[in-house]
Amino acid sequence: MNEIGVEDNGTDLENVQNVDVHYWKYNVTTSILDGNNVLHFPRRVAENGLYINQSKILLFDEETDKSYDCDVHTTSKSMHQKYIGRGWYDFVLEKGLKVGDVILLTVNNPPNRMYAAVVNWE
């Protein structure tokens, strides 16, 4: 059985590779709500959970089962620095998220889908 790591906005809690599911939590910040609204994948997810040339992923709201088409972008600095914008922005607006809300994000293998659940862990 593989261990599953959980990251807090991209900070490694465990060094996890070759898993079928990648989880991390994301804390909503003021900048996200002010329009700087992209979701960066943690490095370990970009390296081990996404395809090098991946350009699309489908984001599902676990509460409503609504899906959002997301373009996966790769930064010019590294092929392992990836983020999504368009569909993520729609999800944030439609959920009415507030600063401090916590979202659990999951990318499965193969990485054609990701899931988001507002969990607000204490």
Location of structure tokens 């600095």: 77
Q: Read off the CATH number of the domain in which 109 is found.
A: 2.40.330.10
Output the pLDDT for position 1: 32
Helix boundaries (H) for 1-122: 30-33, 43-48, 86-95
Asked if omega into 111 is within 30° of 0 (cis), the reply is: no
Output the pLDDT for position 8: 47
Separation of alpha carbons 60 and 80, rounded Å: 23
Structural domain containing residue 74: 21-119
Is 113 within the bounds of a domain?
A: yes
- Could you list the pLDDT tens digit for every one of the 122 residues in the chain? 333 344 444 433 344 445 678 999 999 888 776 767 789 999 999 998 999 999 999 999 999 999 999 999 998 888 889 999 889 988 988 998 888 899 999 998 889 999 999 997 65
Separation of alpha carbons 45 and 7, rounded Å: 10
Q: State the total domains in the chain.
A: 1
